Chain A
Amino acid sequence: MAAGATYAAAGAGVAPPPDAVVALANVDIAYRLADGGTYVAVEDASLALRAHEFVAIVGPTGCGKSTLLNAAAGLLKPAAGSVRIFGAPLAGLNGQAGYLFQQDALMPWKTARDNVAIALEVGGTPRAQAVETAQTWLARVGLGSFGDRYPHQLSGGQKKRVGLAQVLIRDPKILLMDEPFGPLDAQTRQIMGNLLLDLWSRDRKAVMFVTHDLEEAIALADRVIIMSAGPRARIIGDHAIDIARPRDAAEVRLDPQFHEIHRAIWNQLKAEVIKAYAEVPA
């Protein structure tokens, strides 16, 4: 445990940068187990997300990367450490953030248009105006003529588009994404990646993007954070991705620079993935 101790000591001393939009400092996240014990998912995680920065968090299955995201969203309270949003400690839900979930999160009893419009309506926007703006957003995500469909009448990719419109219509300062394109097939993922990059490039919100797909992370992000295998997962790597923008989420994978970065990060991640599989049978 000598190595772990040094890491913890180093982490404790690092102050988040003053312009951090989301700052996690020495965060521990623990679950109470049914038998009375505790399961520590994430230990001593410190992470700062600056304005206009697209950060991807990558790690092996079950490493607690989604847990970290939930802490930033206020859906989970960390057992130790602090979460600050724009410098203020987070209490309750993070009202500045939009969250795109991995699973289906649309209300099945509302049409695509109503699902998007409700995001404005809850904030007090009159219905007619909310519906009009929702229609604009549906068109923006390529679903202009799908407004009357119910979620079950949409494909997986289309549901993600509606989800994206639902989150972005509120114009959140921070975008939290939990493996949003995980359930989609490879082609659809790349198309969704490009859509996301296109929408993001308009105002460059701060993005925290969790994925298990290293290629996707490098293709999209400015920075890739690597987490170790759980339990007691830690942040073990922080790599800047200086591939020029605008990028094409599919074509960037052919770039020699992409391969170089991928090789460097993969060497680090590989050891953790093997460790994760050794402990948790797939």
Chain B
Amino acid sequence: MRISRARLLFLQAMVAVAFFVIWHIGSTVPIAGVYFLPKFFFSTPIDVIVRVYQMFAGGKIWGHLAITLWETILAFVIGSAGGVLVGFWFARKPLVAMVFDPYVKMVNALPRVVLAPIFMLWLGLGIWSKVALGVTLVFFIVFFNVYQGVKEVSPTVLANARMLGMNERQLFRHVYWPSALSWMFSSLHTSVGFALVGAVVGEYLGSAAGLGYLIHQAEGVFDVTGVFAGMVILAAFVLLIDWLVTLVEDRLLVWRPQSAAGQA
């Protein structure tokens, strides 16, 4: 279906406008004497916007954002590094992969939230317990992708590289590594997203800083406006990170068919 960009943007904006109008009317205009969306539970859109503005104007929010961002980055980097290493190791040593297979499945099946209290006991209330939670999420995504990437290198490409005279080290550098990286980057959005989930959930469950902490604090005093303001900031933050990831991805995966739309 063909639709102009302006028209699409307009329709998308209309959804937001409708949402806010319904929210605003429901929470501020009594219909037959009853508030359809009581302020106490739903706040009002104007209050939320004002609160968001105050948080940025007051300047305190930046410190919390920095903490959450830092936790996300650490979780992503450590989780990815571990996933790449173990993924390669398992893919190149089938025996190791077979031995560990049931344990990997078991740990991956575990809802990661239940690990949060353990990490808090081990690592304290600082950033590292949140990083650890994010790492357990990111690690498995990257691990499975790298494992698949190394195992599913095209046998023809591999045979060709061998016939060109590549030794094991050169095969790693020119064949296995790029293949694994492409799989890893294809899951970049997911793994960065999960790093952030780990950080925020960790903060929510116990911390003294970060976006998750702000939301939890507001919730603790029934400050619904604060909860919604935190959610709005979190959503904007996620969109920003996702946009950055897309930029990185477009740069790194130029050789991929889907990133070269319009090419013959």
Task: Mark A residues whose CB is within 8 Å of B.
Answer: 73, 75, 93-95, 97-99, 101, 103-111, 118-119, 122-123, 150-153, 166, 170
Contacts and interface: CB of A to CB of B under 8 A. Distances in A.
A99 B257 contact: no
A150 B256 CA distance: 8
Interface string B160-171: 111111110010
A119 B164 contact: yes
B255 interface: yes
B157 A152 contact: no
Interface size class of chain B, counting residues whose CB lies under 8 Å from the partner chain: 20 to 34
Nearest to B258: A152
A99 B256 CA distance: 25
B241 interface: no
7 contacts: A73-B163, A93-B162, A94-B163, A111-B255, A122-B165, A152-B255, A152-B257
Nearest to A149: B263
Interface string B164-195: 11110010001100110010000000000000
Given A107-B175, A118-B174, A97 B257 contact: no
A134 to B, nearest CB: 13
B160 A99 contact: yes
Contacts of B182: 109
Contacts, number: 68
A122 B264 contact: no
User: Nearest 8 pairs between A and B by C-beta?
Assistant: A105-B160, A109-B178, A150-B255, A99-B163, A152-B257, A103-B156, A105-B156, A109-B255
A104 B178 contact: no
Nearest to A95: B165
A98 B165 CA distance: 10
Nearest to B175: A107
B257 A122 contact: no
B148 to A, nearest CB: 16
Given A105-B160, A152-B260, A122 B178 contact: no
A153 B260 contact: yes
A143 B254 CA distance: 20
B156 A101 contact: yes
Contacts of A152: 255-257, 260
Contacts of A118: 164, 174
Contacts of B156: 101, 103-105
